Amino acid sequence: MIGKLKGILDIVEEDHLILDVAGVGYIIYVSAKSMMKLPDLGATTALLTYMQVKEDDISLYGFMEKSEKKWFENLITVQGIGPRLALTILSNLDPDMLVSAIVERNKEIFKHISGVGPKLAERIFTELSKKANQDFSGVLIMQPVIEENDSNIKDALIALTNLGYNRNEVQAVCKAICQNKPDVTINELIRLALKELSS
Q: What is the CATH number of domain 144-197?
A: 1.10.8
pLDDT of 85 over the 90 cut: yes
Contact residues for 63 (Cβ-Cβ < 8 A; gap 6+): 30, 31, 34, 47, 48, 49, 50, 69, 72
Tell me the domain boundaries of the chain. Answer: 4-64, 67-141, 144-197
Assigned architecture for domain 67-141: Orthogonal Bundle (1.10)
Q: What is the DSSP letter of 93?
A: S
Q: Which CATH number fits domain 4-64: 2.40.50.140, 1.10.1060.10, 3.30.9.10, 3.40.50.620?
A: 2.40.50.140
Structure confidence at residue 43 (pLDDT): 95
Structure confidence at residue 159 (pLDDT): 82
pTM, entire model: 0.68
From the number of C-beta atoms within 10 Å of its C-beta (0-12, 13-18, 19+), residue 13 rates as: exposed
pLDDT of 186 over the 70 cut: yes
Residues 44 and 162: their CA atoms lie apart, in Å, by: 41
Mind listing the pLDDT tens digit for each residue in 13-66? 989 999 999 999 999 999 998 998 899 999 999 999 999 998 888 999 999 999
Of all residues in the chain, the percent with pLDDT exceeding 90 is 47
Name which residue leads in pLDDT, 147 or 163.
Answer: 163
- In total, the chain counts a number of residues equal to 199
Helix axes 95-103, 83-92, angle to 10 degrees: 90
